Amino acid sequence: MSHMKDVLRNRLILLSHDEAGRRLARIRSLMERAGMRGMLVSDNANKYYLTGRVFAGYVYIPISGEAIYFVRRPVELDGDGVVYIRKPEEITLSIGLGMPETIGLELDTAPYSLIKRLRLIFPGSEIANASALLRNARSIKTDAEIDMIRRSGIKHRHVYSRIPRLFRPGMSDMELQVEIERLSRLEGCLGQFRISGDSMELYMGNVLAGENADAPSPYDFAMGGAGADPSLPVGADGTLIVPGTTVMVDMNGNFDGYMTDMTRVFSPESGKLPELALKAHQCSIDIHRALTDMMRPGTEAKALWQRAEEIVKERDLHPYYMGHRQHAGFIGHGVGIEINELPVIAPRSRDIIQAGNVIALEPKFVIPRVGAVGIENTYAVHADRVECLTNSPEEIVYFDL
């Protein structure tokens, strides 16, 4: 934590000069291509991407010239281009005569009322959607970003390696989850689970035991669970962890603002899981092998989804794949500052795998009366290879009774 105090001087931009420049350059090349002459960024995840910190305010990026950082809170930040404002209308004064013909705004995440207000700052400008552009820019990570995700992965794996020691016979899914939460937090997990858009909600991750894995949830996560209360209907619901059933652990790996996504399966006592569950778990591992062999720059995301589909069908596991009573529509997704980044590995995805993508693959199965099986790993795509950032044993781990 003292790290924070060292870097948290008053400098607004906490990234190195070169790193900030690289990110800005990537965004500007996409702006150029889209004919977007200026962009005003308000989303916390995007501001963090641009500056290495979260602040209340806006970043204005003209297609050329210096970016301007309009800050409302906190007090006392400084640096080139920092301008304090009380309300967005004051932005007009600083931009002055350089009004862009087309202004990019985050139309997919910013509320309608905010966009309506921001439009008035740029009365002569056409508005364009900066959300898709920024999602694209962020889908190709810089080396420094991959390094942060790698570091989160190391801590994430370390927490997972200690899960068997947290189990006590008679525990419920929720009791196990709470102990994993505690361990993660003591290892430095920030807890905050950033999801783009506000319709998906989850607290710290998902521990799914036995039959509860088959409870459908309203959220667009790969797996469901009834949850402890109808106000947050996902994940653990108090199911006891008993022999012959599985516990799928898919817990938060956000240790430094960038996250890994990782799932492993546990079960009390060895040798009691039905053959179908073991077969499906092995199938998930095999899909990981097959897809990481294909996951090279230039591959279509939908081809990965298709290949997994073939493997599942060859093995007659389709009724259990990505859910049983309810099925998820994707088997992988980009991950970084948020858990739902590009590319999306889904049947109608138009994404193409690129070097710098960081992708979580999660081919999973729900076996009725047994629970969820399958693993999730986070991979960095390099020009010539795929690097697993959550490398650790993939077999089902049996808890001592």
Q: To the nearest whole angstrom, how small is the minimum distance from the Cβ of residue 185 to its own copies? A: 4
Of 230, 271, 298, 383, the one binding its own copies by CB under 8 A: 230
Determine the size of the site formed for its own copies (CB under 8 A): 81
Shortest CA distance to 222 belongs to which of 336, 339, 332?
332
| 8 Å CB contact between 143 and 258 | no
Rounded least distance, CB 55 to its own copies, Å: 4
Distance between CA atoms of residues 352 and 139, nearest Å: 11
User: Which of 225, 174, 232, 231 is CA-nearest to residue 203?
Assistant: 232
Closest residue by Cα to residue 291 from 304, 306, 282:
304
Cβ contacts of 276 within 8 Å, gap of 6 or more: 320, 367, 370
Residues 44-73 binding its own copies (CB under 8 A) are: 44, 48, 52-57, 72-73
37/61 Cα distance (integer angstroms): 9
CA 22, CA 142: separation in Å to the nearest integer? 8
Given candidates 115, 140, 278, 294, which one binds its own copies under the rule CB under 8 A? 115
Which x/- pattern over 5-24 shows residues binding its own copies (rule: CB under 8 A)?
x-xx-----x----------
Identified binder of its own copies from the candidate list 25, 93, 120, 232, rule CB under 8 A: 232
Is residue 217 a contact point for its own copies (CB under 8 A)? yes
Of 350, 333, 299, residue with least CA distance to 290: 299
Which residue, 64 or 192, has its beta carbon nearer to its own copies? 192
Contacts of 315 (CB under 8 A, 6+ apart): 279, 283
Judged by CB under 8 A, does residue 108 bind its own copies? yes
Binding window for its own copies (CB under 8 A); candidates: 220-228, 241-249, 306-314, 388-396: 220-228
**Residue 136 interacting with its own copies (CB under 8 A):** no
Which of the stretches 26-34, 109-117, 275-283, 342-350 binds its own copies when contact is defined by CB under 8 A?
Answer: 109-117
Q: What are phi and psi of 173, to 5 degrees?
A: -55, -40
Structure tokens that stand for 107 in this block: 């139309």
The least distance separating its own copies from the CB of residue 43, rounded to whole angstroms, comes to 8
- Out of 88, 210, 253, 257, point to the residue binding its own copies (CB under 8 A): 257
Question: In the complex, what is the shortest distance from the CB of residue 160 to its own copies, in angstroms, rounded to a whole number?
Answer: 18
| Smallest distance from its own copies to CB 186, Å | 6
